Chains A and B, each alone.
Chain A
């Protein structure tokens, strides 16, 4: 059974650019959530999608957005990149709430 797949694994972008990260959940999982991990702030929740609807959102600026497609694959987009957006972005998929969350290997974003 394939795990959670995140692409790309590494990304280098310039300040002001935008970026799109992709996450393919485990087959059958309909919930996909995104997290940002930095040395200073640790792991922080960005947002969660279930059946193409955003159900929860963390305390991040509007530059951070996401969406989910009918096949449950999800993308997150960050516009007008800032140096502080450099982080490891992780997505997790779950079958239903309270049932366990499986994380992908992450996308390491570096903004220069």
Chain B
């Protein structure tokens, strides 16, 4: 079965600083999703990547899927308090679509 490892597990950054979260898979990624979660709430969809080398941006968040499709990174530029939360990467199981395997999450705190 596929396993996703996220790093770092937690991150505290000062407002205005840039940061990167990594997601490494034990298998080739066929569909990689990034979600954000506020504590105890649902997951907010950020981005979906499918092709090796693909890069997508939305506002100050950029996500990339490396060429070999086993690692993805999420980069936040000029972080703001609104970026605080838990970031989760999820991948579609290669053998069974419509099933996502998630990483353990990265908890981001943004200080003033």
Residues of A within 8 A of B (CB): 4, 6, 31, 33, 35, 42-43, 45, 48, 50, 55-56, 58, 88, 90, 92, 94, 97-98, 100-106, 108
Question: Min CB distance, A56 to chain B, in Å?
Answer: 5
Q: Are A97 and B98 in contact (CB under 8 A)?
A: yes
The answer to whether A106 and B104 touch across the interface, beta carbons within 8 angstroms, is no
Interface code B8-51, partner A: CB below 8 Å = 1, 0 otherwise? 00000000000000000000001101010000111111001010
- Whether the pair A45, B88 counts as a contact (CB closer than 8 A) is no
Residue of A nearest to B102 (CB): A43
- A residues near B98, Cβ cutoff 8 Å: 31, 33, 48, 50, 55-56, 94, 97
| Interface check B112, CB cutoff 8 A | no
Asked whether B42 lies within 8 Å of A33 as measured between CB atoms, the reply is no
Contact with A along B58-86 (1 / 0, CB 8 A): 00000000000000000000000000000
- State which size class the interface on B falls in: 20 to 34
The complex places the Cα of A92 from the Cα of B104 at a distance, in Å, of 18
- Which B residue's beta carbon lies closest to that of A4? B42
Contact A103/B31 with A42-B102, A48-B99, A97-B98 known, Cβ cut-off 8 Å: no
Q: Which one of B40, B45, B88, B98 has the greatest number of beta carbons of chain A within 10 Å?
A: B98
Nearest CB in chain B: distance from A101 CB, A: 7
Once A33-B99, A45-B101 are accepted as A-B contacts, the answer to whether A98 and B40 lie under 8 Å apart by CB is: no
C-alpha gap A92/B100 in the complex (Å): 10
Task: Please give, as numbers and ranges, the residues of chain B lying within 8 Å of A55 by CB-CB distance.
Answer: 96, 98
A-B contact pairs, 5 of them (CB 8 A): A33-B100, A90-B43, A101-B100, A104-B42, A106-B42
Provide the residues of chain A in CB contact with B97, threshold 8 Å. Answer: 97-98
